[in-house]
Amino acid sequence: MNELVGYRRPDGRFGIRNYVLILSTVGCANETVKRIADQVDGAVAIPNQKGCGQVGDSMEILRRTMAGFAANPNVYGTIVVGLGCETNKPQVIAERIRSLTNKPLEVMTIQAIGGTVKTIEAGIKLAQTMVAAGRRVELSKGSLSEITLATNCGGSDATSGLSPNPALGLCSDRLIQAGGTVILGETTELIGTEHILASRAKDTATGERILELVQGLETTFAAMGLSVRGANPTPGNMAGGLSTLEEKSLGGISKLGSSMINQVVRYGEMPTQKGAIIMDTPGYDIESVSAMVAGGAQVCVFTTGRGNPIGNAIIPMIKITGNGDTAQTMADNIDLDLSGILNASLSLKEGGQLIYDRLITTCMGELTKSEINGFKEIAIYRNNEVWCCNLDAEEV
């Protein structure tokens, strides 16, 4: 089954959800966007940790990611809300959004409108109008070839690399075979396996970029006199049975299956190729998933050994575990229990099929536990880009 039903956007992209995004350009506007979205069913708010006092790479990452949020196919249209005097100018964000998509877009600032009360009132009216227009959009046919899948693992334990991650890898290979795209992130969790990934690259240049990506990260840590092993594996990973960073990485990269790797992209950047993609994201789950959302992913499969409750404001997150105890104790958060792989009641191939089936039903509208719980975490990475900060998008 490759045919889906969803929302065809004016830019041609295919969405599986239909939100109006209320996007804050600066922390000073966060409560305003939240109150607008809280009053309008069908609207979601994305706050901003900073947006002022930022320069250089940090500001570029922020703007790229914010524009990517608005361009995500699950978004019908966006209302950009700023204060009016911030470094991250609302008009500049609007221009970045327009460079990516021609979907509905409005811009407003608290200072120009005259305070938060008036801005909230005006924002509610705009959002209600935009949501109503979005609901009039007729459902359209789409296919798995138009799906970009974000993959992430968090709260990993010894079961992660043995069951849910390789099972997800089988699902990833099937989606890629159907013409779709799969993104692997968490650069800190590629360390020790970069040579394996480089051997799967479509060409020498792509393989070199994979090696540069990991080497750049390690060089940065060394220059600061730090060791990534101070943060990875985490205390929870070690308590769950993971002994080394390389062990964690070997399990982590299995989420991408065995397909040829076609491109390496920066944090929050939209791939220009299809198939298997590596994105430069940190190990912090919320920042990592947020980057892939900005990169155009409509859905995420999130594997976890110890359990993780996070969601996302724009895309559904399918939570999968291979730990039977976690499946029971965190049943409110887990969508799929693959613990049968380890007790031999379920084969790895069957586990991959279950993930694939759940991916399709989620794309067709089935709600995930994170959606039912209303969890909408967003965070944007703010550290400087290293290996590719001076490269144009076409070069990466």
**What does DSSP assign to residue 210?**
H
Taking the C-alpha atoms of residue 66 and residue 291, their distance in angstroms, rounded to an integer, is: 10
What pLDDT sits at residue 394?
38
pLDDT of 388 strictly over 60: no
Taking the C-alpha atoms of residue 155 and residue 321, their distance in angstroms, rounded to an integer, is: 10
| Residue 386 vs residues 57, 221, 234, 390: alpha-carbon distances, Å | 9, 11, 23, 9
- Global confidence as pTM: 0.92
In this structure, are residues 262 and 206 in contact, taking their beta carbons and an 8 Å threshold? Answer: yes
**What does DSSP assign to residue 355?**
H
82: helix, coil or strand? strand
pLDDT of 87 strictly over 50: yes
Question: What is the residue whose two structure tokens read 């399709």?
Answer: 360
pLDDT of 382 strictly over 90: no
pLDDT per residue over 102-125, tens digit each?
A: 999 999 999 999 999 999 999 999
What pLDDT sits at residue 250?
79
Compute how many other C-beta atoms are within 10 angstroms of the C-beta atom of residue 141.
10
216: helix, coil or strand? helix
pLDDT per residue over 333-365, tens digit each?
A: 999 999 999 999 999 999 999 999 999 999 999
Compute how many other C-beta atoms are within 10 angstroms of the C-beta atom of residue 10.
12
CA 198 to chain CA centroid, nearest Å: 23
Higher pLDDT residue, 73 or 154?
73
Q: Express the helix, strand and coil content of the chain in percent, nearest 5 each.
A: 45, 15, 40
Residue % of the chain over a pLDDT of 90? 81
Does domain 19-136 fall under CATH 3.20.20.10? My reply is: no
Reported confidence tier of residue 387, pLDDT bands at 50, 70, 90: very low
292, 293, 296, 301: CA torsion to nearest 10: 70
Taking the C-alpha atoms of residue 335 and residue 10, their distance in angstroms, rounded to an integer, is: 32
Peptide bond into 164 cis (omega under 30): no
